[in-house]
């Protein structure tokens, strides 16, 4: 798994906005991380006190396996901006570079054979054999956008996951600006 090109937007503005509900003069609100801001950020799911975390947006490129992509798609507030396409490019990839270390080299050899066969025949059946034989350890890159509130849910649910990719993503979440205080909280 690899994470690159990370951008965090509206961090100070959203922290300032977290203070609006208890303010009579919003001009006096600042972007300091106070104990109250941390308490709001660490409130339980469903209470909506952590809503201001939705305003802290994060964009990044993530390279991970098909297995992780399938699980990542369950998070409603992680948006795919653009991604590499298995459907359009599987017959063009250097497959030896696309698989993670858990894919058996014998399977990679079979995939290379299937790719070569399709590239020679261009038969739709050969293409489907190639596509549907592709193992879960196939890695692709996508540009994603999300927010701190969604990442709080990801962290809570995936920090001890069996897949090492999820644990790596959670370690990265901890490194985001104020990740420890706003996202991880007492769970870290």
Give the domain CATH number at 9: 3.30.1360.170
What is the pLDDT at residue 186?
A: 59
Number of structural domains in the chain = 2
Select from 64, 24, 50 the least CA-distant residue to 167: 64
pLDDT higher than threshold 70 for residue 160 = yes
pLDDT band at 26; cut points 50, 70, 90: very high
* 159 and 93 within one domain: no
Give whole-number Cα distances, 4 to 61, 65, 102, in Å.
5, 16, 22
Position 185 scores a pLDDT of 80
Residues 76 and 35 in one domain: yes
Residues 76, 16 share a domain: yes
Spell out the residues 6+ positions from residue 108 whose beta carbon is closer than 8 angstroms to its own: 95, 96, 99
pLDDT tens profile 52-89: 999 999 999 999 999 999 999 888 899 999 999 999 99
Whether 187 shows a pLDDT value over 70: the answer reads no
Structural domain range at position 120: 88-133
- Both 143 and 70 in one domain: the answer is yes
pLDDT mean over 149-163: 95
Residue 103 maps to a domain = yes
């Amino acid at each position: 798994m690899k994470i690159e090109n990370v951008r965090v937007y509206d961090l100070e503005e959203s922290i300032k906005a977290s203070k609006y509900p208890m303010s009579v003069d919003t001009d006096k609100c600042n972007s300091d991380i106070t104990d109250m801001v941390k308490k709001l950020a660490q409130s339980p799911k469903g209470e909506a006190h952590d809503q201001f975390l939705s305003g802290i947006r994060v964009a990044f490129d993530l390279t991970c396996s098909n297995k992780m992509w399938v699980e990542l798609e369950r998070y409603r507030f992680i948006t795919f901006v653009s991604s590499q396409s298995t459907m359009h490019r599987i017959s063009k990839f250097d497959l030896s570079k696309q698989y993670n270390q858990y894919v058996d080299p014998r399977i990679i050899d079979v995939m290379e054979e299937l790719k070569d066969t399709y590239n020679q025949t261009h038969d739709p059946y050969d293409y489907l054999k190639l596509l549907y034989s592709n193992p879960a350890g196939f890695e692709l890159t996508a540009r994603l956008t999300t927010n701190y509130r969604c990442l709080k849910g990801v962290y809570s649910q995936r920090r001890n996951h069996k897949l090492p990719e999820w644990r790596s993503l959670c370690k990265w979440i901890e490194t985001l600006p104020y990740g420890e205080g706003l996202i991880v909280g007492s769970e870290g």
